[in-house]
Amino acid sequence: MEETNNLSGKPQKEDQNARRQFLKKLGLVVGAGAAVTAGAVYMGYDHENKKNPEGKKIRVLTADGQLMEVSEAELLQAENSVETEETELQRRGREGIPGKHWVMVIDLSKCRNARMCMAACQGAHHLRPEQHHINVLRMQDAEHTEPYFMPKPCYHCDNPPCTKVCPVDATFKRQDGIVLIDNQRCIGCRFCIAACPYSARIFHWIEPLKSEEDKDLPYDVELNVPQRKGTISKCLFSADCLRDGELPYCVRACPNGVYYFGDLNEDVVTNGTTRETVRFSELIRKNGGYTVLEELGTKPQVYYLPPKNRLFPYQYEGKTTLDPDDSRIGGGRG
């Protein structure tokens, strides 16, 4: 019924009305559009006028090393905020240094427990005295064997159990072999601490030592400073020093020539004390180099030279190493 009604007389009128209204609306829309367009064209024209009429070009380097050309008039002072700096530090920090495979050799026969390595490390990374990226352990392999001192950094394993378990990719292994921790990503689950068989990782249970002083610094993932409460920290092989062509903090600080550091790809390592550079493969072969707990399959990238010809007895907490009554002797090497 209604349909037939709609088809007769009445709707035609409505139709005309609708058309009139449509035209009216169209006019409005077109008018507004034209006004906007005119405005935009004028502003563009004005903008172009303000530019250098010659269009003089200059060359600039982008942050990732690309050479670019821009017209001089468009050049602005780069905004050097903490955010932009951090983005760049994160990018290069996660990428690593191409072509390198960092390796450390620790000569146990030379270690006299001077602990300069520990102090230098804690200074650089703003750590408390009980927080160790590198820890000099007093080892005794078996009941009647002689104790010795063993500096223990992170071993930067080629098959790292810690990065495997991280749920958020906060700890990762770079192309140059360094295992880093991104404390802007870390959720503080501590699974990596549980997974590391070498106890190489620490956690910021309370506010870090210098968190107040450091709070405005851009975060450098290669130095892990500023440190953050509720996140992990660990030995970084001083990735920030390596980027500047320097040896790691601990390696440089050693007074006894314990540390060698270098590139496995080039097969050279440099002694941090004597600055003598030697062939890595030869050093390991001739001195019986080994890695710790290699049976776990972690492929550590820190090698040890055996603790032979030691200058014993050493003084240790008021006792000599020959005293048998130190209850804190650990389980030895596996």
- Considering only residues 298, 304, 305, 307, which one is a binding residue for another protein as defined by CB under 8 A? 298
Q: Which is nearer to another protein, 9 or 129 (CB)?
A: 129
Sort strands 302-305 and 102-107 into parallel, antiparallel or unpaired.
parallel
Helices and strands: H and E segment counts in the chain: 10, 15
Q: Which span sits near another protein by CB under 8 A: 39-47, 98-106, 264-272, 324-332?
A: 324-332
Per rule CB under 8 A, is residue 90 in the interface with another protein?
no
Greatest C-alpha distance within the chain: 118
Q: Does 38 bind another protein (CB under 8 A)?
A: no
Applying CB under 8 A, which part among 39-47, 99-107, 134-142, 270-278 lies near another protein? 134-142
Residue 1 is encoded by which pair of tokens? 């019924």
Q: Which residue, 167 or 245, is less far from another protein as judged by CB?
A: 167
The DSSP symbol for 219 reads: P
98 backbone dihedrals φ, ψ, rounded to 5°: -60, 145
Helix, strand, coil share of the chain (percent; to 5) = 30, 20, 50
Q: Which is nearer to another protein, 133 or 252 (CB)?
A: 133
Nearest Cα to Cα of residue 200 among 221, 226, 181, 228: 181
Residue 139 within binding range of another protein, rule CB under 8 A: yes
Encoding tokens for residue 255?
A: 């007074």
Count of residues interacting with another protein (CB under 8 A)? 52
332 binds another protein (CB under 8 A): yes
Element (H, E) at 317: none
| Cβ distance to another protein smaller for residue 89 or 195 | 195
Q: Rule CB under 8 A: choose which of 195, 209, 217, 278 binds another protein.
A: 195
Indicate the helix (H) or strand (E) that contains 63. none
Q: How far apart are CA 324 and CA 322, in angstroms?
A: 6
Is residue 306 part of the contact set for another protein (CB under 8 A)?
no
Judged by CB under 8 A, which of 86, 119, 158, 203 binds another protein? Answer: 203
Residue 41 vs 168, nearer CB to another protein? 168
Q: Which of 189, 209, 217, 278 binds another protein (CB under 8 A)?
A: 189
Binding mask 240-259 for another protein (x = CB under 8 A): --------------------
36/107 Cα distance (integer angstroms): 76
Tokens 């870090």 belong to 208
Phi, psi (degrees; rounded to nearest 5) at 303: -105, 150
The stretch among 65-73, 185-193, 238-246, 257-265 that binds another protein (CB under 8 A) is 185-193
Single out the segment in contact with another protein by CB under 8 A; choices: 135-143, 173-181, 251-259, 271-279: 135-143
Q: How far is the CB of 8 from another protein (least distance, A)?
A: 45
Buried b (16+ CB within 10 A) or exposed e, 305-327: bebeebeeebeeeeeebeeeeee
Contact residues for another protein, defined by CB under 8 A: 118, 130-132, 135-139, 152, 161, 164-170, 185-191, 193-195, 197-199, 201-207, 229-231, 292-293, 296, 298, 328-334
